[in-house]
Chains A and B, each alone.
Chain A
Amino acid sequence: MSEDTLVDELLAGKHRALARVITKIENRAPGYRDLVSQLHEHTGNAEVIGITGSPGAGKSTLVDKMAATYRERGETVGVIAIDPSSPFTGGAVLGDRIRMASNVGDMDVFFRSMSARGSLGGLSTATTDAVKALDAFGKDKIIVETVGAGQNEIEIVKTADTVSVLVPPGSGDDVQMLKAGILEIADIFVVNKADMDGADRTVMELREMVGMRDASPMAGHHGADTLADTDDGAAGQDPDDEGWQPSIVETVAKTGEGVEEFLGTIDEHVAWLSESGELEAQARQRYEAEIKTLLREDTAALLQEELSVRGGLEGYIDRVLRKETDPYAVADELMAPLEDCVAGARDGG
């Protein structure tokens, strides 16, 4: 199938074409860049929601219930679920699909499992592009689900308009972990399994943390008085406040309890995004990051080519080992022709 027909068929709503486009994106198959370029003008209509949290927090189950609720409202849903892959064999068992029990047989929920494939930077590119494909296909809501363990996952959820972090009850230590970085990216905290012991405590701890964040000198215009606003949790948005204060919602994904409220909070966040102009700012940031990533990868590829023409790095490493040269000098030497080339083209053109 040629790229043009693939794009046409995708835009016409053919599931097979959408699936194949995502495969090409994942495989970085020849021509995938043209595909994504062609899709770009058709994007921008979907709302993207990121879900992250520690393993076993109930992400997949919650996503299942979210998708079902959106479907009841008559909206179409795309889901990208990312699981880790073995760093040794590259193999993976992608298990999130099993939890999608409420939506089996419903083709308007397009569920796609992706593995990390051990390619660190590349995964966020692949996720961004896959989201574009679902967006161009015409999905109303796109949910990106990933295990939130590190920087890589944080990069991924940044493709989302609204980032939700799941926190299971009784995870005092997890909350500590959250402080280290995930706290900053959360727009909404979801205390899932809220029927379990310790849920109240977790909600309280989160509330305290959100308050502390706002009270810290880094938060700027916020004062300690924002602490009082958080008492009613989800609906605690101060209308005069320019910033978004992370909401805290409680859900029981297994039964679907609280899911409506959670989706309502997402809607509130999206409304705030567009009113405050944050939506456009986010989009700008995202495109900037995307372009930078592509530039980095492309220049790295160019260098790699130059390197292999010169017989690889081994020779240089030998010389560095013998103290005949040093790593900085090697980098300068390899970069010089590229720099000359670029300078030449700039002056000439």
Chain B
Amino acid sequence: MSTEQEQRTIRCLVAKVGLDGHDRGAHVIARAFRDAGFEVIYSGLHKSPDDIVQAAVQEDVDVLGISILSGAHDTLVPKIMDGLDEYDALEDTLVIVGGIIPDDDREELYEAGVANIFGPGSTMEETIEFVRENAPER
């Protein structure tokens, strides 16, 4: 194998942010991503937006998946987006949100730079497909 030969692997950070202890969804998606051949970094529970930004920047992930079921998405997600922007990481990180996001709140998240929102009923295949197609070229 040559050292010139490129070995591209999609890297994802699966993040739980704020006071939200429901991590079943995050675990399931982490596992599904792994089985899809992605490298998955799991943040652990109860992280602050800054922690998530630090992890996303240092790990240089292609995809940041934020799982939120607490209803605090409208404050936490924009904070993460601002943090990414501060480190010039906003434009080439694909940010997706999973969890319970009311329809009324979605537009605001899209405007903040979230690429897609996967609510209840979304399938794994759908999510993985979306990541494969939209993971940023570097």
Contact = CB atoms under 8 A, between A and B. Distances in A.
Interface of A: 15-16, 19-20, 22-23, 26-30, 33, 85-86, 89-95, 97-98, 101, 104-107, 110-113, 115, 117, 119, 121-122, 125, 294, 297-298, 300-301, 304
Contacts of B108: none
A28 B40 CA distance: 19
B42 A85 contact: no
B36 A19 contact: no
A93 B30 CA distance: 7
30 contacts: A15-B57, A16-B60, A19-B57, A19-B60, A23-B11, A23-B60, A26-B7, A27-B6, A27-B7, A27-B9, A28-B4, A30-B6, A33-B4, A85-B39, A91-B38, A91-B40, A93-B31, A94-B40, A94-B41, A94-B42, A98-B42, A98-B44, A104-B54, A105-B48, A117-B9, A122-B1, A122-B3, A122-B7, A297-B2, A301-B3
A110 B59 CA distance: 9
B7 A300 contact: no
A20 B88 CA distance: 11
Interface residues of B, number: 38
Contact of A111 (B38, B58, B89): B58
Interface of B: 1-9, 11, 30-31, 33-44, 47-48, 50-51, 54-55, 57-60, 87-89, 138
A95 B42 CA distance: 6
Contacts, number: 121
A105 B58 contact: no
B6 A29 contact: yes
Given A92-B34, A105-B48, A122-B1, A23 B6 contact: no
A105 B40 CA distance: 20
**The 3 A-B residue pairs with the shortest CB-CB distance in the complex, in nearest-first order:** A301-B2, A19-B60, A91-B34
Nearest to B38: A91
A67 B124 CA distance: 37
Contacts of B57: 15-16, 19
Given A89-B37, A91-B36, A22 B60 contact: yes
A90 B9 contact: yes
A27 B8 contact: yes
A291 to B, nearest CB: 12
Contacts of A101: 44
A348 B9 CA distance: 44
A94 B88 CA distance: 24
A186 B34 CA distance: 33
Contact of B87 (A16, A112, A304): A16
A91 B7 contact: no
Contacts of B3: 28, 33, 122, 125, 294, 297-298, 301
